[in-house]
Amino acid sequence: MSNPAIQHPRVAVIGCGHWGKNLVRNFARAGALAAVADRDGALAADMGARHEVLVRSVTEILADGSIAGMVIATPAETHAALVREALLAGKHVFVEKPLALAVADAEGLVKLAEEKGLTLMVGHLMQYHPAFRALKKLCLDEGRLGRLQYVYSNRLNLGKIRTEENTLWSFAPHDISMILALLGDGLEEVAALGHNYLHRAIADVTTTHLTFASGQAAHIFVSWLNPFKEQRLVVVGDAGMAVFEDTLPPDQKLRLFPHKVEWVNGRPEPAKADSIAIAIEPGEPLALECAHFLDCVATGARPITDGREGLKVLRVLDAAQRAMETRRPIVFQSEASPDFFVHETAVVDPPAEIGAGTRIWHFSHVLKNSRVGQGCNIGQNVVIGPDVTIGDRCKIQNNVSVYPGVTLEGGVFCGPSMVFTNVHNPRAEIERKHEYRPTLVRRGATIGANATVVCGHTLGRYCFIGAGAVVTRDVPDHAVMAGNPARRIGWACVCGVKLPDDDWAEAVCPACGRNHVLAGGTVRCVDEPE
């Protein structure tokens, strides 16, 4: 990753503590270390003497024109201010994760670095690990796992327990960075739970779940209260699986499992194969990361983990933290949301979140704590909430009320005057909010005009509820329902066209050509859109 022919710039390391000392060591080995600084004078003096460099104050380093870059390994709450000072002084910056604690601060830093033409790189170390680089090649370049379906990571230990940040912010950035590198953009929702055992306000164990528009998902489990160390990343595709386990020796860190699932007579059958050890190049991840920064400063190349990548990771951390605090999933906004349209007669009660490109029309009302996704069209006289989540690209026609307990995933169509309920036996004079029953409408479902959905049921993906139907039970994926009570009268493609009525195990949509499999009373679209 490093080019030995390049004349490396000189840098100063700010922060020589638990992790900073490793950065000092690596930049000194590269012959690029000009100075060190730390608020602990004795520690700074020891590092300076050990590596034969000057001990300077931050002010002196900022003023020294011979020092091209600053490497920041101070407490996270100081990152934003130090990075800003360095950029304003014309220094290239390598900052340990996270880039900042607030998304708005990080956005400002990325903009400042780009305006000044300076390198801004965030220390997401695992992106430089030879095993992860080999895993990316396996998945993205060679496609040996086929279409990636889901990723999960465990980062567990009984080690350094922090009192200034929780395990999410301490451990999870590495895994978030790797997952985004593998699954790309399109993150739709972030859910997270934290558990506090040692400190009332600091989570020792967190689980985070990421859901993507493509249907891909990822799960992150981190803890510093585990009896053994585990650093494992598992990637599952439709043509194979891979495991990156960093605690194992180099020749065992990355293994390919050519397992896959085959459909035999309409039933899924696992097809297992022997695992294959994947060779990885030698190299210490931190040394490779430091060399990459020096090369980018010298050549003007864009770092793998540049400021924008650091900002993406921070947005996920921020959403996960809010999800932990509210114990509710967060509809993810990958960028600062552009304006949405709300008609002058419509009302949006704070705090409510409205996604980019959404339009809310005449006399509609979005109540507090509701979240409406991106690209939605909310018709006239629609009521949403309170505490309701609407996914991206939904269309809700006139005179529809989406009550508490109802959740719409992405791409749902609600026809004019259709009805959701949230209790089974309402009375005007009896309060029954504690009896609300949840209703989940899965991705791509269509509900026709004047239909009624009785609460407590799930409407499957791409199902089709006919006009005037009364839904009184769960609806399978792709089912076409009609009548009172609604009964299945057929199956529908993703595109909405009805599939053949006769008994079949496999069928092709006559309109769009998508393939479908019928097994166990449920239809699966083989070519479902990403």
DSSP SS3 for 341: strand
pLDDT band at residue 98 using 50, 70 and 90 as cut-offs? very high
Better-predicted residue by pLDDT, 327 or 86: 86
Give the lowest-confidence range in 12-16, 344-348, 386-390.
344-348
**Shortest CA distance to 117 belongs to which of 307, 304, 305?**
307
The CA distance from 336 to 274, in Å, is: 46
pLDDT at 449: 97
Which residues of the chain form CATH 3.40.50.720? 11-126+285-306
If you count them, how many residues does the chain have?
A: 530
């997952």: which residue's tokens? 179
Q: What is the mean pLDDT of residues 154-177?
A: 85
pLDDT at 283 over 80: yes
The CA distance from 215 to 230, in Å, is: 27
- Specify whether the CB–CB gap between 179 and 220 falls below 8 A: yes
Query: Is 11-126+285-306 assigned to CATH 3.90.25.10?
Result: no
Give the lowest-confidence range in 95-99, 108-112, 327-331.
327-331
The CA distance from 273 to 264, in Å, is: 17
pLDDT in tens, 13-47: 999 998 999 999 999 999 999 999 999 999 999 99
pLDDT at 315: 93
Helices (H), 327-454: none
pLDDT at 396: 97
The CA distance from 33 to 21, in Å, is: 12
pLDDT at 334: 63
Which residues of the chain form CATH 3.30.360.10? 137-279+317-326
The CA distance from 524 to 266, in Å, is: 10
Query: Is 137-279+317-326 assigned to CATH 3.40.50.1970?
Result: no
Pairing of strands 148-156, 217-223: parallel
Percent of the chain with pLDDT over 70: 96
Instruction: Tell me which amino acid residue 80 is.
Output: A
pLDDT at 377: 95
pLDDT at 501: 75
- Specify whether the CB–CB gap between 209 and 221 falls below 8 A: no
pLDDT at 490: 92
pLDDT at 338: 53
The CA distance from 348 to 368, in Å, is: 8
Better-predicted residue by pLDDT, 424 or 466: 466
For residue 162, what is the DSSP state?
A: P
Distance, CA of 264 to chain centre: 34
pLDDT in tens, 188-224: 889 999 988 887 778 889 999 999 888 899 999 999 8
pLDDT in tens, 102-141: 988 999 999 999 999 999 999 999 999 999 999 999 998 8
Q: What is the mean pLDDT of residues 466-481?
A: 96
Pairing of strands 446-447, 506-508: unpaired
Q: What is the mean pLDDT of residues 446-459?
A: 96
pLDDT at 337: 47
